[in-house]
Amino acid sequence: MGIEEIIRTELMDVGEKLGLEKGEKQGELKKSLVATQNLLKKGRLSPEEIAEVLEVSLDFVKKVQIGEVSFF
């Protein structure tokens, strides 16, 4: 295996890892977004309580509430 092939393989591995990390982050964002939307619709918890329960920022909850954050 030549040096170019080793470098190419390493770069592909790094790219794959970065892609997986990005996908995981997007999945977490979608999960938090959907959960926040659902709790806001139910209207039983305050934005502060939602942020605490879901372990997201209050700013995130407020942005979801006014429609500034969406997944698509």
Residue 42 and residue 53 in contact, taking contact as beta carbons nearer than 8 Å: no
In a domain, 47, yes or no: yes
In a domain, 72, yes or no: no
In a domain, 10, yes or no: yes
Residue 64 and residue 33 in contact, taking contact as beta carbons nearer than 8 Å: yes
In a domain, 11, yes or no: yes
Question: What pLDDT, in 10s, does the model give residues 1-35?
Answer: 788 888 888 888 888 988 999 999 999 999 999 99
Report the length, in residues, of the chain. 72
Calculate Rg over the CA atoms of the chain. Answer: 19
Question: What pLDDT, in 10s, does the model give residues 55-64?
Answer: 999 999 999 9
In a domain, 9, yes or no: yes
Has residue 72 got a pLDDT over 70? no
Reported pTM: 0.77
DSSP state at residue 45? S
Number of domains in the chain: 1
Structure tokens at 17: 């890892």
DSSP state at residue 70? -
Q: Which amino acid is at 29?
A: L
